[in-house]
Amino acid sequence: MKYLKRIIANKYLLTLVAFVIWMFFFDRNDVPTQINRIQELNDLENAETSMTRQISDTRKELESLKSSPEMLEKYAREKYLMKKPNEDLFVVETVIEK
């Protein structure tokens, strides 16, 4: 009992406990907020990586479109469903049921 009383009366231990409680629950930069911020940072870094990859793919596609008229025609036909005046266009859609 005396030992427990000495531990509770220790001012350094009380200060440490108060500091930990303050940092975990009351501070503006508490631990759960820091964990959420780290997770958000990781998500943003992953998004940046995928966007950088997408930008490089788009630039490669643009260069290929600028270099050959055949690729430009193919791109216009596939992406924008363009056709020549004397052609018929058939669009086939696939239906995926869940």
Measured at the CA of 75, the angle between CA 70 and CA 80, to 5 degrees, comes to: 135
pLDDT in tens, 14-44: 899 898 888 888 888 888 888 999 999 999 9
Q: Is the whole model's pTM more than 0.85, yes or no?
A: no
Judge contact between 13 and 7, C-beta under 8 A: yes
The span from the CA of 58 to the CA of 51, in Å, is 10
**Rounded CA gap, 8 and 24, in Å?**
21
Tokens of 78: 């596939």
Rounded-to-integer distance, Cα 85 and Cα 23, Å: 71
